[in-house]
Amino acid sequence: MSYDRFKTALICVLLICVLAVPVSAQGDVIKIGLISSLTGAVSTYGQSVRNAVTMAVDDINAAGGINGRQINLVILDDKGDGTEAAQAARRLIDRENVALILGPVITPCVMAVAPIAQAAKVPMLTPTGTGDEITSIGDYIFRGAYKDSFQGRIMAQFAAVNLGLTEAAIIYDVANDYSVGLRNAFKATFEELGGKIVAEESYSTGDTDFSAQLTALAMRNPQALFIPDYYSTAGPILMQARLMGMDAIMLGVDGWDSPDLSALAGGFEEGGYIVNHYSADVDSPVTQEFIARYTAAYGQAPDALAALGYDGALIVAKALEAAGSTEPEALKQALGTVKGIDGVTGTINMDPEGTPIKSAVILQSTGGKWELVDQVDPSGR
Amino acid sequence: MVKPRLTGLIKIILLLCIYGVVRLLESRGLLLPYHVQVLSLCCINVILVVSLNLINGFTGQFSIGHAGFLAIGAYLSAFLTVKMHVPFLAAILCGGLLAGLAGLAVGLPALRLRGDYLAIATLGFGEIIRVIILNMEAVGGAKGFSGIPKYTTFGIAYLTAIITVVVIRNFVHSDYGRACLAVREDEIAAESLGVNSTYFKVLAFALGAFFAGTAGALFSHYLQYMAPTPSQIGFVKSIDILIMLVLGGLGSLTGSVIAAVVLTIIPELLRGFAEYRMIIYPILLIVVMLYLPAGLMAGRELSLDSLARLCKGVKSSAHYS
C-alpha cells in the first residue's frame, strides 16, 4: 500500500467516524440515554441489558409512545470502566440533552456516573447496580434491582429458617465489594437468627486454587457453605469443594446465574440454592411473554440482567408517563413514587430512597436447571 | 534559528491563546462541559505520558507500573481533601511527593534490574499498591473511594500539564538529562565515563513518579470516585499509558503530548459505535504502528524552530518552482 493510498484510507476511516456520530432526531421525542458495558470484561452483562432495553423501548414506541411522544434511545458503551462511564454520562447530559439516564450496568461505573447525574440534576436509574451505597449519593439516583445487603439477608433467613441450619461457613473474595457486602449481610442475619458461622476464609479476585482455604473449612465440617461471588469464581470453588469430599449445602447469590456455571462447577452446583432477581418458572404472563419474545429476537434465553434491563425501561416509561413532562424535578418525584409496575422480575414499587420494593426468589439447582423453591416478599426487607 | 527569548514569548502567548480560546468557546456555549471534561482528561493523560517518557523514553528503563504512582497520588490527595480538609493544591503536592518517595523506595532496589526483569518488578509494584489500597478501609477498600469533591478544572489540569512538560523538557536538556540519555544509550560506556548510572536512573524514576502522583491527584478530583480496579489504577491503566507513549514515540515530548491528546479523543469520537468501538480503536493503533514503527514523532521534537525551517523550506521550494 503506497503512502497516498494509506492516507486516503486513513481519511476514509476518520470520515466514517465523524459521520457515524449519531445525529440527534428532531421532533417531539423524549430522549433517554443508556450507558452499558458493551465491550470489556463484563460485556455479556451489558449486551443483555442493551438487548432488553431496546426491546422495551421498541414496544413502547410501537404502542404509541409516552403521552403521544416517542422515545429516542441513545446507547453509549462504557467498557465496564468508571472513567469511560463518566465521559459517556457527560456526553449524554451535555450533548444529547437526555431527559434521563438508564444505566450503567456494574457498580463501579454507576459510582462514577452518579455524582455527575446528581450535580447536573438529571435523574438516573441503574437497572442492575446492587451496591448498597449507590442510592445514598443523591436524590436523583435510582435503581431497578435490590441491594446486596437485602440479598445476603434473604439467603441467611432462608438458610436459618427454611432449611433450619445452625452452622455455616463462608468463603468470599476480600477484593470484591460485592462479595464482601454479601458476606457481611449474610453473617449478621444468620447470627441474629441464632446460627453460628463456624469458619470463614477469604481469597482475592483472580485466584483459581482454593484448596488451602477449603481444607481449613472442611475440617470444621459445616452444614452449609455460603459462596458469595460471580459464576466465574463460584464454579471452580464448588468443584474443588466437592472433589475434596465436602458435603455441605451450597448457598449462592445472583452472581451464579450464568449458563457457564455448570461447566465451571463440573455439575457440582446440583442441589445448591441461590437468591435471584427472577425465575423463568414464575407463572406470570408478563414473565413468560418476555422470555418467549426475547428468545425469539436474540436466539438465547434471557438472563437476570436482561430481565432487569427490561424492567428498568418499564420503570422509566411509567415514571415519564406519571410525570407528564421531562422536567427533572417532576421526573425525580415520579421515579420515587411509581407503584404497581408489572415487571418481568415481579411487581415493582419504587421508593423515594431509590431502591424498589420487590420480591426476590430462591432457586435450587435440580437436574441441571434452576427450579423455583421460594418467593420472598419485600416485607422480608 | 529564531531567537531564544522570542521563541519563549511566542510559546507563552500560544499557550495562553489555547486557554483563552477554550474559555471563550466555553462561555459562548460552543464547547459544552462534556468537551471541557474531555480536554481535562487529555491534560491528565499528557502528564502521565510525559512523566513515563522520562523513565521509559529518555532514561531507557522499561517501567510498566506507572499506574501505581497514579494510585498513590489519587488516593492520598483524595484522603487529604475529603477527610482532612486540606486545600486542593497542597493535596496535589502531597500526592506527588508521596508518589515520588515511593518511586525512590522502589527505584533503589528495582533499578538494579534491567529490561524484562525491571518490567516485571515494576508491574509487581503496581499490583502491590493496588492490593494495599484494596485492603485499606480508610479509603473505602474494595468498595472504592466515593464522595471526592470535583476540584479539577480545565485550568488547573492545563497548568499542571504545562508545568510538567516544561520541567521535564528542562531536565532532559540539563546535565542531568544528558547523563540519563547516556545511561539509555549505553550504560557501561556511561559508567566508564564517570556517570553514576544508578543515581540518574533513580532520579529520573522518582521525578517521573512525582508527576504521575500529581496526575493521580488531578484524576481522583476529576472523576470523583476511585475504584481499585485494574482498569482504573492497575496494570490495565499502566498499559494504556504505555500505549500512548509508544504511539507518540519514545523520547519525544511533543510525540507524547500529541499521542495522549489523540488517544483520549479517538475513543470519544468512536463511542457511538457500541461493540465495534473496541475493534476500530485497536485497528487504528495497529495501522499507525505498522506505518510508523517508531511512533508518531519517532524521537523527533516539534518545535518553533522546526516549524520555522519547514515554512522556509516551503517558501524556498515555492521560489524555485
Q: Could you tell me the three cell numbers for A140?
A: 436523583
Q: Is B142 an interface residue toward A (CB < 8 Å)?
A: yes
**pLDDT of amino acid A80:** 86
Task: Decide: helix, strand or coil at residue A101.
Answer: strand
Contact A17 B227 (CB under 8 A): no
Q: Which residue has the cell 449519531?
A: A22
A65: left (phi over 0), alpha (psi -120 to 50) or beta: left
pLDDT band at B302 (very low <50, low <70, confident <90, very high): confident
How far is A176 from B232, CA to CA, in rounded Å? 15
Mean pLDDT of B31-42: 92
Whether the CB-CB separation of A71 and A60 falls below 8 Å is answered with yes
Per-residue pLDDT tens for B90-145? 999 999 999 999 999 999 998 888 778 999 999 999 999 999 998 888 998 888 89
Task: Decide: helix, strand or coil at residue B95.
Answer: helix
Q: Is the ipTM of this complex over 0.90?
A: no
Q: Is B194 an interface residue toward A (CB < 8 Å)?
A: no
**pLDDT of amino acid A16:** 55
Cα separations in angstroms, A75 against A19, A193, A329, A346, B33 = 16, 45, 24, 26, 20
**pLDDT of amino acid A8:** 62
Q: How many residues does chain A have?
A: 381
Task: Decide: helix, strand or coil at residue A381.
Answer: coil
Give the DSSP letter string of A148-172: HHHHHHHHHHIIIIIS---EEEEEE
Task: Decide: helix, strand or coil at residue B145.
Answer: strand
How far is A218 from A169, CA to CA, in rounded Å? 9
Q: Give residue limits of the domains in chain A.
A: 30-145+284-348, 149-276+362-380
Whether the CB-CB separation of A336 and A140 falls below 8 Å is answered with no
Q: Is B319 exposed, middle or buried (0-12, 13-18, 19+ CB in 10 A)?
A: exposed
Residues of B in contact with A108 (CB under 8 A): 144, 225, 227, 229, 232
Nearest-CA residue of chain B relative to A134?
B146
Q: Could you tell me the three cell numbers for B45?
A: 493523560
Cα-trace Rg, chain B? 20
Please name the residue ranges forming H helices in chain B: 4-27, 33-52, 66-83, 88-110, 115-134, 154-173, 175-185, 187-192, 197-223, 230-233, 235-248, 253-269, 277-291, 304-320
Superfamily of domain A30-145+284-348 in the CATH hierarchy:
Response regulator (3.40.50.2300)
Mean pLDDT of B245-258: 93
Contact B225 A22 (CB under 8 A): no
Whether the CB-CB separation of B78 and B92 falls below 8 Å is answered with no
Instruction: Report which residue type is found at B186.
Output: D
Task: Decide: helix, strand or coil at residue A217.
Answer: helix
Residues of chain A with pLDDT under 50: 1, 18-26, 380-381
Nearest CA among A34, A79, A48, A10 for reference residue B278: A79
Whether the CB-CB separation of B241 and B67 falls below 8 Å is answered with yes
Per-residue pLDDT tens for B56-100? 999 999 999 999 999 999 999 999 999 999 999 999 999 999 999
Cα separations in angstroms, B54 against A168, B90, B93, B175, B199 = 54, 24, 19, 14, 15
**pLDDT of amino acid A26:** 46
Contact B272 A20 (CB under 8 A): yes
Per-residue pLDDT tens for B157-167? 999 999 999 99
State the smallest CA–CA distance between residue B224 and chain A in angstroms: 7
pTM of this prediction?
A: 0.83
Give the end-to-end CA distance of chain B in Å, rounded to a whole number: 24
Q: Do the domains A30-145+284-348 and A149-276+362-380 sit in the same CATH topology, yes or no?
A: yes
Residues of B in contact with A83 (CB under 8 A): 41, 223, 231-232
b/e code B133-158 from CB counts within 10 Å (16+ = b): bbeeeebbbbbbbbebeebbebebbb
Contact A47 B223 (CB under 8 A): no
Cα separations in angstroms, B305 against A341, B77, B167, B249, B251 = 68, 39, 20, 20, 18
DSSP conformational letter for A244: T
State the smallest CA–CA distance between residue A55 and chain B in angstroms: 17
Q: Which residue has the cell 434491582?
A: A145
pLDDT mean across residues, chain B:
90
Q: Is B143 an interface residue toward A (CB < 8 Å)?
A: yes
Give the DSSP letter string of A302-342: --HHHHHHHHHHHHHHHHHHHHSS--HHHHHHHHHH---EE
How far is B74 from A267, CA to CA, in rounded Å? 44
Residues of B in contact with A177 (CB under 8 A): 141-144
A to B CB pairs, distance under 8 Å:
123
**pLDDT of amino acid A279:** 85
Contact A180 B144 (CB under 8 A): no
Q: Could you tell me the three cell numbers for A95?
A: 450533548
Nearest CA among A292, A295, A148, A290 for reference residue A230: A148
Q: Which of A50, A90, A133 sits opposite B34 (nearest CB)?
A: A90
Which residue(s) pair with A170 in the sheet? A200, A226
How far is A11 from A15, CA to CA, in rounded Å? 6
**pLDDT of amino acid A164:** 93
Contact B141 A177 (CB under 8 A): yes
Q: Could you tell me the three cell numbers for A77?
A: 458503551
- Tell me the CATH number for domain A149-276+362-380: 3.40.50.2300
Residues of A in contact with B234 (CB under 8 A): none
State the smallest CA–CA distance between residue A94 and chain B in angstroms: 6
Q: Is B144 an interface residue toward A (CB < 8 Å)?
A: yes
Whether the CB-CB separation of A168 and A251 falls below 8 Å is answered with yes
Whether the CB-CB separation of B138 and B79 falls below 8 Å is answered with yes
Per-residue pLDDT tens for A283-304? 889 999 999 999 999 998 898 8
State the smallest CA–CA distance between residue B98 and chain A in angstroms: 24
Q: Which residue has the cell 472513567?
A: A83
Instruction: Report which residue type is found at B248.
Output: G
**pLDDT of amino acid A12:** 55
Q: At what angle do helices B197-223 and B88-110 cross, to 10 degrees?
A: 140
